[in-house]
C-alpha cells in the first residue's frame, strides 16, 4: 500500500520533545533501536556519481530492530518522487529474515555494495490515529517522521503533505525548513565529505 510521509529535523532536545508531545495528549508507545544497512548492485565509484533517486531505486536494505520490537527484515522501498526530487509516496515490500548475520553475509557474498549504514533510536508517540516517530539519528541529529493516518486516505499526495506539514508546525517545535529530509543520503554525503 502506498503511503505518504514527511520527515523534518527538530532542534529541540529529546526531553523537550517528550514533554511537549505528552502535553499535547501523545503517549510514548514504543522505543526501538533501528539499524539499517543499505546495499546496491553498483560499485563504490558508480555510487559516488549517482543522485538520491537513482541510488534508492537500485537499493535494498537490511533492517534490524531491537527494543520493544525485535525483528530483522529485508526491504525494498518503491518511491514516487515529485519534480523536485522529494519522495511524496512510497510502497514498502518487506520480508522477515531469521538472522541478521547470515543475511549480511549473503548480501556481501552476492557482491552487493554496502553504501551506507544508519542507526536510529526511535521513540514512537501515539494520539488517537496519529503516530509520530521521533528519531535520534546517529551523526545527524533529531528528526520527526509523520506517516499518513487513516484520516488522509481520500486525499491526493500533495493535499496530504500540506495538511501533515501544518500539523507538525502546530506542535510548536523548533523545526527545520525541509520536510523531506533524506537521512540516509545526508549520512552518506557527510561520510564522503569527511574523507
Q: Is the model's pTM score more than 0.75?
A: yes
List CB contacts of 173: < 8 A, sequence separation 6 or more: 10, 12, 17, 20, 144
Pinpoint the alpha helices (H) of 2-149: 14-23, 44-48, 52-57, 100-109
Domain count, the chain: 1
Which residues form the domain of 130? Answer: 5-193
Copy the grid coordinates of residue 134: 521521533
CB 144 within 8 A of CB 180: no
pLDDT of the chain along its 195 residues, tens only? 678 999 999 999 999 999 999 999 999 999 999 999 999 999 999 999 998 889 989 999 999 999 999 999 999 998 888 888 888 888 999 999 999 999 999 999 999 999 999 999 999 999 999 999 999 999 999 999 999 988 888 899 889 999 999 999 999 999 999 999 999 999 988 776 555
Q: Mark 152-191 as b/e (b = at least 16 C-beta within 10 Å).
A: beeeebeebbeebbeebeebebebeeebbbbbbbbbbeee
Domain with residue 31: its CATH number is 2.40.320.10
Amino acid at each position: 500500500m502506498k503511503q505518504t510521509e514527511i520527515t523534518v529535523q527538530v532542534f529541540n532536545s529529546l526531553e523537550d520533545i517528550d514533554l511537549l508531545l505528552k502535553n499535547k495528549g501523545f503517549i510514548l508507545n514504543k522505543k526501538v533501536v533501528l539499524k539499517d544497512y543499505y546495499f546496491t548492485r553498483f560499485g563504490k565509484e558508480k555510487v559516488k556519481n549517482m543522485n538520491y533517486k537513482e541510488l534508492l531505486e537500485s537499493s535494498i536494505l537490511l533492517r534490524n530492530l531491537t527494543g520493544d520490537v525485535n525483528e530483522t527484515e529485508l526491504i525494498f522501498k518503491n518511491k514516487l518522487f515529485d519534480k523536485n526530487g522529494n519522495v511524496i509516496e512510497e510502497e514498502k515490500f518487506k520480508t522477515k529474515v531469521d538472522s541478521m548475520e547470515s543475511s549480511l553475509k549473503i548480501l556481501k557474498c552476492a557482491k552487493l555494495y554496502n553504501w551506507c549504514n544508519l542507526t536510529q533510536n526511535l521513540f514512537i508517540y501515539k494520539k488517537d490515529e496519529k503516530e509520530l516517530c521521533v528519531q535520534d539519528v546517529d551523526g545527524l541529529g533529531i528528526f520527526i517522521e509523520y506517516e499518513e493516518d487513516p484520516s488522509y486516505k481520500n486525499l491526493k499526495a500533495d493535499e496530504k503533505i500540506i495538511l501533515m506539514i501544518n500539523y507538525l508546525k502546530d506542535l510548536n517545535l523548533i523545526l527545520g525548513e525541509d520536510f523531506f529530509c533524506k537521512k540516509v543520503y545526508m549520512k552518506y554525503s557527510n561520510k564522503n565529505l569527511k574523507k
